[in-house]
């Protein structure tokens, strides 16, 4: 739905993006940034968690603009369906437990603002001054959805990393269960 | 080196070109990264800090995908590169693993200290 819309609207009108494409892109970018701001600045951790969903969906939409359809699907499945549900579970399960309500106070606000602002302006200057070979108007579309090409490269050039990640996931599964298990050894007679 | 006014003069052009300019994606990534960094430094709640980490990882993913699309496409005789997307995929998997372990640690720490305020869990033994 959105991919066809974006590519249909991206028909080149004298080199620039179409109005629909541009508007959709700016709206997505704005939604991403605003919801990320809510994540960071909200006093209520539950609002922050739900707003994180907006950020994840926004980034998925930007992936669609980047012709990374498999990444967009994976972003929605893994981040929204997995990580976000995990975080929201932790927040909602623990709201009374952890005293999330009075979590408004922060630590070293000044130092954090200084570090974040310095990092942002350093990156901004790099973005604005470095010459990027970025005229994408004539960039060719991939001839096929990116899933096929991703599968081929994962099972050829990145095969070792792929296997290592699968072993890592198994280790993470076991380790997470081991960390949260009830310690019954001391209670044995 | 340009002064800041000259540097900022490029911003309207970037916004006007929107999805056809790699710098628009990099800009969104930079904002996400800075917000995540701010959350990591200032939040006292461990779960909120984890949200900041996710923001930073998303910013990195966005940059990988953007460079895969634009820089790979600019190479002569080659279609858009897929390698950046592959790396981005690994980042997503590692983020999932990291979230699982981090939340397990949060629960274990709560079990030990009865709090997840990062400033109050500062003793090795109680």
Give ipTM to 2 decimals.
0.86
* Cα–Cα distance, A25 to B17 (Å, whole number): 10
Show residues of chain B in contact with A136, CB under 8 Å.
Answer: 20-22, 69-70, 73
The pLDDT tens digits of the residues spanning B33-66 come to 999 999 999 888 888 889 999 999 999 999 999 8
The pLDDT tens digits of the residues spanning A133-149 come to 655 544 555 556 788 88
pLDDT at A123 over 60: yes
Please give the torsion angle defined by the CA atoms of residues B2, B6, B11 and B16, in that order, rounded to the nearest 10 degrees.
-120
* Cα–Cα distance, B93 to A62 (Å, whole number): 19
- The model's pTM is 0.84
Query: What's A75's DSSP letter?
Result: I
* Cα–Cα distance, B51 to A50 (Å, whole number): 11
Q: Where do we find the tokens 């623990």?
A: A94
Residue of B nearest to A91 (CA): B47
Return the minimum-mean-pLDDT range out of A5-14, A115-124, A172-181, B75-84. Answer: A5-14
Instruction: Record the tokens describing residue B96, joined without a space.
Output: 């999932």
Cross-chain residue pair A56–B58, CB shorter than 8 Å: yes
For residues A1-33, one letter each, b for 16 or more C-beta atoms within 10 angstroms of the residue's C-beta and e for the rest, the string is eeeeebeebbeeeeeebbeebbebbeebbeebb
The pLDDT value given to residue A18 = 79
pLDDT at A166 over 60: yes
The pLDDT tens digits of the residues spanning A63-78 come to 998 888 899 999 999 9
Other CB atoms within a 10 A radius of the CB of residue A104 amount to: 12
Between residues B109 and A113, which one has the greater pLDDT? A113
Burial degree of A147 (CB within 10 A; 0-12, 13-18, 19+)? middle
Between residues B43 and B126, which one has the greater pLDDT? B43
Q: At what angle do helices A85-93 and A45-65 cross, to 10 degrees?
A: 170
Return the minimum-mean-pLDDT range out of A28-32, A179-183, B101-105. Answer: A179-183
pLDDT at B114 over 80: no
How close is the nearest chain B Cα to the Cα of A189, in Å? Answer: 23
How big is the CA angle at B120 (ends B119 and B121), to the nearest 5 degrees?
100
Q: Where do we find the tokens 């993470």?
A: A172
């Amino acid at each position: 739905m959105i991919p066809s819309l974006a590519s249909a609207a991206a028909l080149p009108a004298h080199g620039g993006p179409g109005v629909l494409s541009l508007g959709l892109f700016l709206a997505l970018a704005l939604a991403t940034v605003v919801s990320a701001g809510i994540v960071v600045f909200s006093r209520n951790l539950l609002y922050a968690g739900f707003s994180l969903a907006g950020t994840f969906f926004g980034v998925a939409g930007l992936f669609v603009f980047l012709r990374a359809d498999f990444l967009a699907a994976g972003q929605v499945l893994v981040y929204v369906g997995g990580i976000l549900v995990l975080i929201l579970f932790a927040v909602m399960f623990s709201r009374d437990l952890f005293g999330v309500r009075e979590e408004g106070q922060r630590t070293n606000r000044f130092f954090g603002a200084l570090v974040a602002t310095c990092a942002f302006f350093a990156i901004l200057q790099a973005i604005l001054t470095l010459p990027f070979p970025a005229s994408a108007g004539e960039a060719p579309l991939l001839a096929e959805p990116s899933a096929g090409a991703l599968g081929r490269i994962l099972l050829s050039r990145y095969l070792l990393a792929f296997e290592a990640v699968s072993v890592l996931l198994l280790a993470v599964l076991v380790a997470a269960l081991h960390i949260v298990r009830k310690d019954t050894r001391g209670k044995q007679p | 080196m340009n002064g800041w006014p000259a540097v900022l003069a490029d911003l309207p052009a970037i916004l006007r070109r929107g999805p056809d300019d790699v710098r628009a994606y990099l800009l969104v990534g930079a904002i996400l990264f800075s917000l995540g960094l701010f959350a990591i430094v200032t939040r006292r709640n461990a779960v909120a800090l984890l949200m900041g980490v996710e923001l930073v990882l998303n910013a990195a993913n966005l940059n990988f995908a953007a460079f895969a699309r634009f820089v790979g496409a600019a190479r002569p005789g080659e279609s858009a590169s897929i390698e950046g997307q592959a790396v981005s995929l690994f980042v997503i998997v590692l983020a999932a693993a990291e979230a699982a372990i981090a939340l397990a640690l949060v629960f274990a720490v709560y079990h030990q200290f009865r709090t997840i305020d990062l400033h109050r869990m500062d003793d090795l033994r109680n």
